[in-house]
Chain A
Amino acid sequence: MDESNDSEIARLLRLKRYEQPPPGYFENFLHEFHRRQRDELLRQPLWRICMERTHEWVFQFNVRSLLSYPAAIAAVLVCAAVVSLKIYQEPETAKVALQNPPTLSAPANAEGGWTLASPVATRIFRTQPLRSFDESSQTHFLNSGTPTRYVLDSVPVSYEPTFTF
């Protein structure tokens, strides 16, 4: 393509600069811009306006950088508190269980009845093979009126009654 054609096109296209909006358009544009901004603001939900205002405030005062160190310290303190609480609240029964891991038999009310007895008292530590119902009833309840006593390797587990006030 030669240069004369290029310049002709350029001259023709430059005429398009004369295509202008209606008179007064540029004078009214700013007013229209403000009106649209207000309309847009009114259409927004309240939470979005609040978020934008907060964002502007944070940006204006650079709160992020100001808060970074205290926030980091607070986070560390919270973590430390949570960890220490967890350690403090570790149940002691778990320790006992670890020291003497017994084999548990069925609870005293194994038939499904509800009891107010504590879980420790209702459990029977099994050191001997389980006897049949008849055998055990003959050796304990029938002959003596005293409460049942359970023995673990000659050491009593508990003499406490299962339910006391």
Chain B
Amino acid sequence: MDQPRTDEDQALVNRTQSGDASAFDQLVVRYTPRLYGLVYNMTSNHEDTNDLLQDIFSKAYKAIRGFRGKSSFYTWIHSIAVNMTLNFLKKRGRRFQLSLDDVDASIQNDKEFLELTATSSPVREADLSELQRRLNEAMMKLSDEHRAVVTMFHIQGMPHAEISKILRVSEGTVRSRLFYANRQLQNYLDEFRKNPVS
């Protein structure tokens, strides 16, 4: 996963604050793929993700004049994204529609994917779309807060310390949520093992 480029980000933030809108465009281009992954894996819906991303960058643009650099821009924009997505999920409730037909074809060449499909894991019996469906169903069974932690840690590859800054909770809380979420996911996958075609 991409690591935050604090100095470059700060330079772009300074330029944006002094009225250079093209500097903010560069921040948008830089952070869109990352934030897309974060929001998408929390909502499991492409249209919702698109709308939310637009709102997130719009809010960030309006608020960037007040950004004082106490945290990095990376942490700041991720905090906005997570908070707005959690608020959206609260409003949406449990009404959601999966839109999961957008897997990149390069997954077929991924070493981990090949290993998983070759071993005795639940994945062996499932085709790609089934794997997607199962994974996302498992994720959507988690609470919003647990899903956020799982997304940031397992999918985005963020360290515990960064997640704790973004969520403004202690690292212990992050680890605890992660442990609980892993256990829930494991239970769900155990069911999948017992009854893979259900």
Interface residues, chain A, with chain B CB atoms under 8 Å away: 1, 5-6, 8-22, 25-26, 29-30, 32-33, 36-37, 40, 59-60
Contacts and interface: CB of A to CB of B under 8 A. Distances in A.
Given A18-B106, A30-B25, A33-B57, A9 B32 contact: no
B93 interface: no
A5 B182 CA distance: 9
Contacts of A22: 46, 102
A44 to B, nearest CB: 12
Nearest to B65: A59
Contacts of B49: 21
Interface stretch (B4-12, B107-115, B163-171): B107-115
Nearest to B100: A19
B29 interface: yes
A19 B103 contact: yes
A25 B104 CA distance: 13
Q: Is the interface of B mostly helix, strand, loop or mixed?
A: helix
Interface stretch (B35-43, B68-76, B77-85): B35-43
Contacts of A60: 19
| A10, A11, A12, A36, most chain B CB atoms within 10 A | A12
A26 B46 CA distance: 13
Given A15-B116, A19-B40, A33-B57, A9 B104 contact: no
A30 B102 contact: no
Contact of B135 (A1, A15, A30, A40): A15
Nearest to B106: A18
Nearest to B41: A16
B100 A8 contact: no
B14 to A, nearest CB: 14
Interface in B25-64: 25, 28-29, 32-33, 36-37, 40-41, 46, 49-50, 53-54, 57-58, 61
